[in-house]
Every structure is written in structure tokens, then in C-alpha cells.
Amino acid sequence: MNASVNASMVTTAFELPGYRVIKTLGLVRGVTVRSRSILGTLGASLETIMGGNITLFEDMCEKAREQALDLMLEHAGQHGANAVIGVRYDATEVMQGVTEVIAYGTAVQVERAAWMARSGAAVYNNGAIFGRGNS
């Protein structure tokens, strides 16, 4: 299997409500390394003078986290996973102005819990469980 894992099947918890882990496939990760441009650094420096939120760095950090997560999901798909549990992020400054961002977790294969399959209940991203016909 070489597809990416659906984002709704990713959690920081060690289980997915309504699903059971049938196979653990191991550690998966996504790594990206980012640096600030000279113009971005100058712009952010000006923002620090004004105080408050430094949007240039915030945008860069969010893009780095998103890219690391996407790479992790691709890695999980390459291992045949349909879910990733125990997801975490970490960042390390490799050198001044260069930062590594990593997303990592445990790739697993899950299936709907037997009682879920029999009842036709649905599980939504927030973990709420609803039976057929409920809204």
C-alpha cells in the first residue's frame, strides 16, 4: 500500500474510539528542515519591535508542522497503516536560523469495533459516537 493515511484516523491518544488495533506496524515519522530568509528575519525583527504576535514566524512554523505531519502520514501509508496513534511533534534548532520539525507516531491497522459494526454507529473526529438516525 502506498497511499497516505486519512487525517481523521490520526490521534495523539493511544487508541481511536470505536476502533480496535489489529496490527502495530511501528514508528513512522515525517521530518522537514526550515530556515528563515533574510527578508523574513528582517520583517519578523520589525514585528518584535512592535510587540505582540510575530506572524511571519507563526506562518513558517505552521507550514513546517503541516509538512512534517503530511510526510508522516505518507510514511504510515507506505507501511500499510490506516491509522496513526500516539502522534507527537518535536523541533530542534540544527544551526542558527535552521530548524528541524518532526512529527512521529505509531503506525497501526485498525478495524471498527465489533459492536460498532453491528449497530451501524458512526464515530466522528471528536470521538463522539452516534447511532444510526441520530443527529
pTM of the shown model: 0.73
Is 40's pLDDT higher than 60? no
Asked if residues 120 and 129 have their Cβ atoms less than 8 Å apart, the reply is: no
| pLDDT tens figures, 69-114 | 999 999 999 999 999 999 999 999 888 878 899 999 999 999 998 7
Q: What does the mean pLDDT of the chain come to?
A: 80
Q: Which residues contact 41 (CB under 8 A, 6 or more apart)?
A: 97
Half-sphere exposure of 55 (CA within 13 A, CB side): 1
pLDDT (0 to 100) of residue 107 = 97
Whether 25 contacts 1, CB under 8 Å? no
All structural domains of the chain, each given as residue ranges with its CATH number in brackets, are 7-130 (3.30.110.70)
Mean pLDDT of 32-41: 70
**Is the pLDDT score of 42 beyond 60?**
no
Q: How far is CA 4 from each of CA 47, 61, 71, 114, rounded to the nearest angstrom?
A: 37, 22, 9, 25
Query: What torsion do the CA atoms of 62, 68, 71, 73 make, to the nearest 10 degrees?
Result: -80
